[in-house]
Structure 1
Amino acid sequence: MDKIDIVVSWLDDSDPEWKHEFNKYKGITNVEINNDSANNEARFRDYNTFKYWFRAIEKNAPWVNKIFLVTWGHYPEWLNLENPKLVLVKHSDFIPKEYLPTFSSSTIALNLHRIVGLSETFVYFNDDMFLLNLTEPTDFFKGGVPCDMLTLIPAQSYEEFNHFAINNMQLIHKEFSKKDILKRNLRKMINLKTSIPYLGTTLLQLPYPNISDILHFHLSTPLNISTYELLWEKHFSQFDKACRSRFRDVRDVTDWYIRMYSLCSGNFVPKNMHKFGRIINIKNAHGNFEKILDSKLKEVCLNDSVDMEETEFTETMKQMQQAFELKFPKKSTFEIEEGF
């Protein structure tokens, strides 16, 4: 079996040095283009649940080879730096200096293939994506090919995120015709075992001349380094432009394009994403975290809400941390022992 690594990005938004740098560059960036909810400070908030992320990985993905923790340069004080599976990676260790400093998650994700020692097959997590139940390597890769789901959807109203989808799809249309995508993937897309409950959504899009958008599940993403290298060669100018934006810019492509390209090219094994995991807005999960964490899903993304007031966020975090402590009470080997 090929080695499978995990890459996870994490930020300590309370770090005074990071906050100083963030505010410095936010003040000199084009506000009209970049100062929207995609760059809202709420998107940088730390849940204080990262230790449970490690507990979940150790319990539910024991097969993982290495965990590459990508940060601005800080790390949690409870983290066991001596764990042999842990590799600390600063932005400056792998992101070209002309793109730094960056406050764009897309810039970070678009350069993951540059991380020294990272395996060809890896799974990319955000720190709000948690494994709830036991997984197997074949949940993510089969024969080195990502396990994923291609679902066609109409153009969505994500506010500024719709711009990102349009930018990505414009690049997809330059690579593939709809006829080509269907020829490569129709059997994978129309599959009663793996396509439910999104099959109807895909079928409704088939009569239209072009593909409007592809469903993004907001869960961990299995990726190939070779795909990154191919796409950087194909689309250097677009990727370079996106990475030079200090903050996410609605005129740029995003790292989602890499997954979209893999799907459209047929480089994926069908997987029922609806059964595998779900994204849940923490604002809507208030009071239900224990039930959510006890579900049969293998993964959940507990996504922050930019319109949550700080007091509501604090109370929600308290509930979420209590639920995680019940779900994962045992310390992982990624945490230092008490007294050290």
Structure 2
Amino acid sequence: MPVITLYRQLQGRLPSGESTPRSALIREDASPLQAQRETLDIVCRRLSAAKVAYFCVRPMPGHPPVVAVAQRDRERALTTLASSGRPLLAARLPYGKGARGRAPEEIGRMRPLKRVAAQLHDAWAVRVGLYFTSPSRTLTIGPEHGCDLEFWAKQKGMLIAPRPNPACASVPAKAKAVQGGEELFNTLVSAGQGVRTYRTRPEFTRRLVGDIDFPIDAVYTWVDGADPAWRARRDQALAEGGGPTGTLSEMATTEARFTSREELRYSLRSLLTYAPWINRVWIVTAGQTPPWLDTTHPMVRVVDHKEIFNDPSVLPVFNSHAIETQLHHIDGLAEHFLYLNDDFFLGRPLPSRTFFEANGITRFFPSLAHVPFGAPESEESPVHAAGMNNRRMLEDLSGRTLTQKLKHAPYALRRSVLYELEERFNDEFEATSRSRFRRTSDISALSSLVHYYSYLNGRAVPGNVEYTYVDLALRKTPAKLRRMLARRWHDAFCLNDTAPTTPEQDALLVRFLRAYYPTPVPFELDQGGSPARRS
């Protein structure tokens, strides 16, 4: 939903026809997961109280939770939900239509259930939902994150599903119900993470071939470029020459590379709002800790460079290429993990299958931008130079030529593959790890090399994300941020700066991030050192 508050701040006017629904329920923990949980719980509680037999069905990928009721109980089910005392909305689901990414009006006009219950007497499936909003009113979540009510027909002692699901087309009409974990019915919850159980049928509790039931961690690299102690170490390293080999580019030391506007705080909010299935978060730093981070929380851990570098004597380093060659050394890191920079953001809910297949294969997201042909030694861009070095290594290994960059979106990785890559290209890994600043001799192991290496070895496949890149220094950026906030149609985006920004541009970014991500993460502290309130 569009955000009124931010429009007032950025445009000085109110967009026509845009508002938060009056029926929206305020929730401090507003998120797609919260909306789906609360709506599903309401539906199950009301049906149980009215003694309407039901069972939860495993949804198709990207769909909200599904509750099944026999066709003969359709009117009783709709009547009891309509009298629940909550402002439930409902719409008939068109046959064959999915829900992921669809606005309520594309599903069918959502109307108060108590008004339309009688009109749904022949529906085969109904979307039931509520509107929720954050206290700031900058995040509104609608019925697209509600619950689908299906009506199963009885035929020859069997209940027949009205539409496909991942498990089965029918279940015995008189079979006993069992309890199933939340992860079976909510695609935003991972195995072992759910805290709820729901009434279901045995057919929906099976471990399916396509189930992702392994933990997926997240790793961030972060630096506070305003820290005087860190700046002193950086300036001393620059005075000493910055490293042993390769040409040092001016782009490797620009202030824009180290500026922090609390992007990490909001990137973490984006991650846990839109990928709440993440198991654990690791933040890799040079002895720094964000003052707002609760390091005692079991879900997060700060990792010092000294803990992961094979040769700590090369420290300090100020080169993300060098740090990335060592991330798989994190003690306790899950085999499967996402790697993110603090300027990466998720823009809407993404299931874990966006990044991984159930057999462990990773997905990567090629960009239309190319790695230019030429010699890395004459290349001004450290990113291009690293891509050229990656290309040479893969050509020597396989005879295949790398031409495409990858999108600046979360990178799906496997520790075992990184260890294998490090062993195969030990000289290149070691040389890059010793480069204190980005140099033309670097490789980009995590943002390019490992993905194409894995693809050539059958352990990665190209994926798709709706993505955009935002350069904060451009004049058109304010208008673009307004559109992004209003539409929220990107799966992921990167907020980067290719040149130093002005205080006005920095303030604009902060307002955008606060509006897009108002819900704090569980390990976030407020200014007083207490767990942060939802805003």
Given the two structures, how large is their TM-score scaled by the length of structure 2? 0.54
When residues 151 and 11 of structure 1 are mapped into structure 2, their CA distance, relative to the original with a 3 A threshold, is: closer
1:136 Cα deviation from its structure 2 partner: 1.1
Would you say the 8 A contact 1:214–1:260 is kept in 2? no
**In structure 1, distance between residues paired with 2:257 and 2:527:** 31
Would you say the 8 A contact 2:473–2:497 is kept in 1? yes
Counterpart for residue 47 of structure 1? 261
Counterpart for residue 204 of structure 1? none
Secondary structure of the residue aligned to 1:116 is coil
Select 2:380's aligned residue among 156, 159, 162: 159
Would you say the 8 A contact 1:131–1:298 is kept in 2? yes
Deviations 1:75-97 (A, max 9, x none): 11111222221011111111131
Counterpart for residue 170 of structure 1? 392
Would you say the 8 A contact 1:122–1:222 is kept in 2? yes
Asked if residue 322 in structure 1 is aligned to residue 498 in structure 2, the reply is no
Would you say the 8 A contact 1:150–1:263 is kept in 2? no
**In structure 1, distance between residues paired with 2:349 and 2:236:** 43
Counterpart for residue 250 of structure 1? 440
Counterpart for residue 405 of structure 2? 215
**In structure 2, distance between residues paired with 1:230 and 1:59:** 33
**In structure 2, distance between residues paired with 1:79 and 1:139:** 28
- What is the letter of the counterpart of residue 43 of structure 1? R
Select 1:305's aligned residue among 486, 492, 498: 498
Counterpart for residue 100 of structure 2? none
Asked if residue 237 in structure 1 is aligned to residue 427 in structure 2, the reply is yes
1:1-340 aligned at under 5 Å gives the runs 1-29=213-241, 33-96=247-310, 97-143=312-358, 144-149=360-365, 155-156=371-372, 159-160=380-381, 161-178=383-400, 211=401, 213-255=403-445, 256-273=448-465, 275=466, 277-284=467-474, 285-293=477-485, 294-306=487-499, 308=500, 310=501, 312=502, 314-337=503-526, 339-340=528-529
After the TM superposition, which of the residue ranges 318-327 and 156-165 deviates more from structure 2? 156-165
- What is the letter of the counterpart of residue 175 of structure 1? L
1:48 Cα deviation from its structure 2 partner: 2.3
Structure with the largest fraction of helix: 1
**In structure 1, distance between residues paired with 2:514 and 2:334:** 32
When residues 101 and 131 of structure 1 are mapped into structure 2, their CA distance, relative to the original with a 3 A threshold, is: same
1:236 Cα deviation from its structure 2 partner: 0.5
Counterpart for residue 27 of structure 2? none
When residues 159 and 82 of structure 1 are mapped into structure 2, their CA distance, relative to the original with a 3 A threshold, is: same
- What is the letter of the counterpart of residue 60 of structure 1? Y
Would you say the 8 A contact 1:80–1:336 is kept in 2? yes
Secondary structure of the residue aligned to 1:68 is strand
1:68 Cα deviation from its structure 2 partner: 0.3
How many residue pairs are counted as aligned between the two chains?
Answer: 302
Secondary structure of the residue aligned to 2:337 is strand
When residues 103 and 155 of structure 1 are mapped into structure 2, their CA distance, relative to the original with a 3 A threshold, is: closer
After the TM superposition, which of the residue ranges 33-42 and 133-142 deviates more from structure 2? 33-42
CA-atom RMSD in angstroms: 2.1
Would you say the 8 A contact 1:152–1:212 is kept in 2? no
Counterpart for residue 194 of structure 1? none
**In structure 1, distance between residues paired with 2:490 and 2:506:** 21
When residues 69 and 164 of structure 1 are mapped into structure 2, their CA distance, relative to the original with a 3 A threshold, is: same
Structure 1: which 5+ residue stretches go unaligned? 179-210
**In structure 2, distance between residues paired with 1:302 and 1:338:** 25
Secondary structure of the residue aligned to 1:288 is helix
Deviations 1:47-100 (A, max 9, x none): 223221222122111111100011111111111222221011111111131331
Would you say the 8 A contact 1:281–1:303 is kept in 2? yes
Would you say the 8 A contact 2:394–2:402 is kept in 1? no
Question: Higher Cα Rg: structure 1 or 2?
Answer: 2
Would you say the 8 A contact 2:470–2:493 is kept in 1? yes
Deviations 1:317-338 (A, max 9, x none): 1111111211122322221146
1:262 Cα deviation from its structure 2 partner: 1.7
Given the two structures, how large is their TM-score scaled by the length of structure 1? 0.83
Structure 2: which 5+ residue stretches go unaligned? 1-212, 374-378, 530-535
Quick one: percent identity of the two aligned structures?
27
After the TM superposition, which of the residue ranges 105-114 and 277-286 deviates more from structure 2? 277-286
1:155 Cα deviation from its structure 2 partner: 4.4
Secondary structure of the residue aligned to 1:215 is strand
1:259 Cα deviation from its structure 2 partner: 2.2
Deviations 1:236-272 (A, max 9, x none): 1111111111111102222232223123333213312
**In structure 2, distance between residues paired with 1:43 and 1:271:** 28
1:214 Cα deviation from its structure 2 partner: 2.4
